[in-house]
């Protein structure tokens, strides 16, 4: 792959589960995302990388309906989901985490998972907290992400890495088929990064598709099947990790060489 190669759509044999066409967003004079047409592969761990400010989070926010694009389309398979409300997109089985971890600090770890299933109403979620099957499922997920021993702790009292695991647990409560993670390893200690990586691999082996934004290159290169690289709001490369690592345009974007 060379610097001039446009990021390609995936080969026809591997359909895009989620894709964009000409997606664009400016904030005042800042062109955060510019005419982005990319596809993410079903059943794979897709990476989305790029220097700070290259538009990754803005792109995630548009795909998940949290901000409206100026122009362009978001497609799930053949269906346009452009400008759909976030809860409607979530109901399609698309879950996400946030770059700055979002948990309710004064709720317990278990309560955080119980409210995750009813994001429209905190009060009704807590009223329904004793719904036995939901509690059982929440406990199962806490065990899955490895923080079941913290069930009764308030979220503000657990480590940042544990909060990231808790947030991932909240995403899993909705049983999404596509999981978008914005910097899952950011600010997390190495032992927990390994646990997060293992979890992503296991969940992917169950057939869940991942789209992962991440700055930790070791993690990205080990974890991802396919990577798209953004620079200044535009995709500049796409390919398997080995291609990305040796791509002159990528080196230039990161190192300015």
Ligand X SMILES: Nc1ncnc2c1ncn2[C@@H]1O[C@H](COP(=O)(O)OP(=O)(O)OP(=O)(O)O)[C@@H](O)[C@H]1O
Q: How far is the CB of 213 from ligand X (least distance, A)?
A: 7
Task: Determine the size of the site formed for ligand X (CB under 6 A).
Answer: 12
**If binding is defined by CB under 5 A, does position 99 make contact with Mg ion?**
yes
Q: Using CB distances below 5 to 8 A depending on partner kind, what does residue 32 bind out of Mg ion, ligand X, none?
A: ligand X
What phi, psi does 239 have (nearest 5°)? Answer: 165, -170
The helix (H) or strand (E) run that includes residue 255 is helix 248-255
Query: Is 32 an interacting residue with respect to ligand X (CB under 6 A)?
Result: yes
Query: 160 contacts which partner out of ligand X, Mg ion, none, CB within 5 to 8 A by kind?
Result: none
- The piece of 74-82, 94-102, 192-200, 214-222 that touches Mg ion (CB under 5 A) is 94-102
- Taking CB under 6 A as the rule, does residue 53 contact ligand X? yes
Q: Which residues of 74-100 are buried (b: 16+ CB within 10 A; e: fewer)?
A: bbbeeeebbebeeeebbebbbbbbbee
CA distances from 179 to 3, 43, 108, 111, 172 (A): 29, 11, 24, 22, 9
Q: Of these, 16, 46, 54, 57, which contacts Mg ion (CB under 5 A)?
A: 57
- Using the structure block, give the residue that is written with the tokens 């910097």: 183
Place of tokens 């026809």: 12
- The distance of closest approach from Cβ of residue 58 to Mg ion in the complex, given in angstroms and rounded to an integer, is 8
Least separation in angstroms between CB 27 and ligand X = 3
Q: Kindly list the residues in this chain that would bind ligand X in the complex (CB under 6 A).
A: 27, 30, 32, 50, 52-58, 99
Q: Kindly list the residues in this chain that would bind Mg ion in the complex (CB under 5 A).
A: 56-57, 99
């Amino acid at each position: 792959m060379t610097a001039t190669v446009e990021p390609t759509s995936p080969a026809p044999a591997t359909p895009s589960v989620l894709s964009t066409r000409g997606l664009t967003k400016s904030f005042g004079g800042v062109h955060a995302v510019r005419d982005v047409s990319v596809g993410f592969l079903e059943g794979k761990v897709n990476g989305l990388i790029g220097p700070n400010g290259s538009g990754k989070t803005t792109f995630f926010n548009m795909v998940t309906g949290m901000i409206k694009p100026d122009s362009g389309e978001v497609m799930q398979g053949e269906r346009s989901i452009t400008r759909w409300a976030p809860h409607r997109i979530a109901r399609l089985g698309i879950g996400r985490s946030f770059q700055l971890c979002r948990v309710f600090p004064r709720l317990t770890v278990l309560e955080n998972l119980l409210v995750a299933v009813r994001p429209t109403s905190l009060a009704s979620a807590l009223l329904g907290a004793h719904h036995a099957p939901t509690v059982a499922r929440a406990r199962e997920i806490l065990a899955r992400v490895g923080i079941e021993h913290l069930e009764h702790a308030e979220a503000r009292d657990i480590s940042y890495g544990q909060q990231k695991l808790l947030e991932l647990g909240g995403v899993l409560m909705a049983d999404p088929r596509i999981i978008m993670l914005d910097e899952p390893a950011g600010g997390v200690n190495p032992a927990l990064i390994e646990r997060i990586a293992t979890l992503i691999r296991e969940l992917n082996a169950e057939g869940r598709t991942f789209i992962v934004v991440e700055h930790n290159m070791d993690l990205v290169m080990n974890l991802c099947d396919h990577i798209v690289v953004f620079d200044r709001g535009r995709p500049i490369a796409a390919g398997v990790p080995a291609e990305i690592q040796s791509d002159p345009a990528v080196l230039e974007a990161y190192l300015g060489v």
